[in-house]
Structure 1
Amino acid sequence: MKFFYILDGKKIKKWLLIISIAFVTASILYIQQIANESVFSNDLGPKAIYRVENKKNELALTFDISWGETNAIPILNVLKKHDVKATFFLSASWAERHPRIVKKIVEDGHEIGSMGYEYKNYTELERGKIIRDLAQAKKVFDTLGMKHVSFLRVPTGNFNKNVLKTVHSFGYTVVHWSVDSKDWLNPGVNSIVQNVTENAKSGDIVLLHASDSAKQTAQALEQIIIWMKKEGYKSVPISDLVNNAHIKSKEIK
C-alpha cells in the first residue's frame, strides 16, 4: 500500500514563519545576555586589567602620584640604583605643577600612565564631567611631550561599567592592581614589605604610592626589590607585562 502526503503550502509558510520568529527571538536574547555580562568577562566591552598570566617571572611595580614633591625623587633613586623599571600613574594637575619630576621619571625610562586631571571619584561624576577631566589631562600630558599615554588608573580606584565605557571611548585601557602594599597607611616599613612579598607573584600588578602621604615607601621599596631579585622576579612596565600575556580581569556589576 502506498501513502501519499499532500503538503499544504499555507501551513508550511505558517510553520516557517513561527520557526523564523523563534530563531530571531533566541538570537536577540542571546545578544542581550552577552551585552549584560560584565565588561570584564567578554571580549566585546572594555576591560580593567588587574593582573596577567605571565610565565617569565615578571610583575609590575606601579606608583600613584597626586600631590607633593618630597617622596618621588627618593623612590626614583632607589629604582635607578637597582635598574628597575616601573609605571607611574600621574594626576595631570600634579604633573602640571611638577614638570621637573615628570621629566626625570621619563628620562629614567619609566612608563607614564594617567590618573585624569583632578583626583575625583569617577563613579560620582556624570559622563560629561569624566570626559572633560580626561580631556584636560590629555592636554597637560601633550604639553609635557607625552602624546601617547595609553594606560589609565581611575582616581580613587573606584569604577563601574559606565566609567569603564567612558574611559575606553577616550582610548585608554584601565589598569587596576592585584597586590596592594597599603603604603599610604604608613603601617611601617616591615608591614609594607610583607604586604607585597607575601602576596606578589609573576603577573601581578603591585600598587605603591609616590605621593608625600606615603612616607615609608622608599625604604620599603629597597627591601621589596632585594626580595624580587632573590626570588627571580623582574619588574617591567605595564605595557611590557601585558604584551603576549593572558589578561586576568574581574566581574564588575
Structure 2
Amino acid sequence: MKSFRPKLAKRAVRIGTALLLTALTFGSSYVTYAKTKTEAPLSKTPEAIYKVQTNQKVVALTFDISWGEKSPGPILDILAQKHVDKATFFLSGPWVLHHQEIAKRIKSMGFEIGSHGYMHKNYSEFSEGWIREQVQKADASLQEVLNVKTRLIRTPNGDFNKQVLSTLHSMGYSTIQWNTDSLDWMNPGVEAIKNRVLTRVVPGDIILMHASDSCKQTHLALPAVIDGLREKGYRFATVTELVKGAATHSTVQ
C-alpha cells in the first residue's frame, strides 16, 4: 500500500505557508491602519473652544494663514529669535499647496498645525455635504504636503453654527476659536495690537493672530507681544497642550 504521508505533509506545509502569509499581510494592514487612524476630538461633544479654565499662566498663540508669502517668514524668524517653540498655525488647503516650502518650514520648526479649511467662506451658509467636502480637501492638502493629519480646525472667519460644529465633530475635529482677538487683521497699529493682547489676556487664553499678507503689522507687534506676555509671567503652549491640561470654556451658539 502506498503511503500518503509525504503528500499530506507537503500539502500541510503549503497550507501553513499560505495561512502565515495571509496573517502577515493582515497584520501589516492592521498596523498601517492603526498608525493612520483619526484620533478622537479633544472635546466629547460638538463645541467651539475659546479658552481653558486654569490658574496657570499659560496661553496659546495661534496664527491663521490663508494667502500670501511675505508675512510668514518674518513671523517665524521672530518666534525663533524669541525662543518661542510652542504655537499653533491654522493653514488653509490652497495656501499649503501653493506655498509648500513655507508650510514645511512651519512644520520643521515644531509648531502645531491645524486646518483652516479650503475655500475661505462661511461654513454656516452651506450644507453638511459642502462642509465635509471642504474639510476633506484641506485635509488632503495637509497630508500631501506635510504628511500631517490634524484634529484641530479653525473655520474661515471663525464662522459656525450647530450644524457646522456637529459635522466637524463627527469628522474627528475640534473647532478652535479664540478668547483674545489681536485685531491685527484690521492693521490698527503696532501699539494697538500689543495693548489689546496684553490688556485682555487671561490664564488659559487662546490668542488670535494672523500670518497672511493682508496683516501688515503682525510681525512688527509680535516681539512686544511676546515680551509683554512673559513679563506678565505667561508661558506658551500649543492648543492641544492647553486643552488637554485644563477644562475648556466652550459654546454651541
Residue-by-residue CA offset, 1:155-176 (whole Å, 9 max, x unaligned): 1111000000111111100000
Letter in 2 for 1:63: F
Aligned to 1:235: 236
TM-score, normalised via structure 2 length: 0.81
The 3-state SS of whatever aligns with 1:249 is strand
Letter in 2 for 1:99: Q
Aligned to 2:83: 83
The 3-state SS of whatever aligns with 2:166 is helix
Provide closer, same or farther for how the CA distance between residues 44 and 78 of structure 1 changes in structure 2, counting only shifts above 3 A: closer
**1:142 Cα deviation from its structure 2 partner:** 1.1
**1:133 Cα deviation from its structure 2 partner:** 0.6
* Structure 2: distance between partners of 1:155 and 1:66: 9
The answer to whether residue 94 in structure 2 is matched with residue 93 in structure 1 is yes
The answer to whether residue 189 in structure 2 is matched with residue 159 in structure 1 is no
Aligned to 1:250: 251
Residue-by-residue CA offset, 1:103-157 (whole Å, 9 max, x unaligned): 1101111100001111111011111111111111111111123332110001111
Q: How does 1:10-21 map to 2 (within 5 A)?
A: none
Residue-by-residue CA offset, 1:66-88 (whole Å, 9 max, x unaligned): 00000001001111111112100
**1:251 Cα deviation from its structure 2 partner:** 4.4
Letter in 2 for 1:137: A
**1:47 Cα deviation from its structure 2 partner:** 1.3
* Structure 1: distance between partners of 2:148 and 2:74: 27
The answer to whether residue 99 in structure 2 is matched with residue 122 in structure 1 is no
Aligned to 1:34: none
Aligned to 2:12: none
Letter in 1 for 2:156: P
* Structure 1: distance between partners of 2:216 and 2:146: 29
The answer to whether residue 24 in structure 2 is matched with residue 50 in structure 1 is no
TM-score, normalised via structure 1 length: 0.81
Aligned to 1:148: 149
The 3-state SS of whatever aligns with 1:149 is coil
Letter in 2 for 1:47: E
The 3-state SS of whatever aligns with 1:51 is strand
Runs of 4+ in 1 over 6 A off after TM superposition: none
When the two structures are aligned, how many residues end up with a matched partner? 210
Aligned to 1:19: none
Aligned to 1:14: none
Structure whose alpha-carbon radius of gyration is higher: 1
Check conservation: 2:75, 2:211, Cα contact below 8 A.
yes
**1:44 Cα deviation from its structure 2 partner:** 6.5
Where does the alignment leave 5 or more consecutive residues of structure 1 unmatched?
1-42
Check conservation: 2:46, 2:252, Cα contact below 8 A.
no
**1:45 Cα deviation from its structure 2 partner:** 3.0
Check conservation: 1:54, 1:241, Cα contact below 8 A.
no
RMSD, aligned α-carbons: 1.2
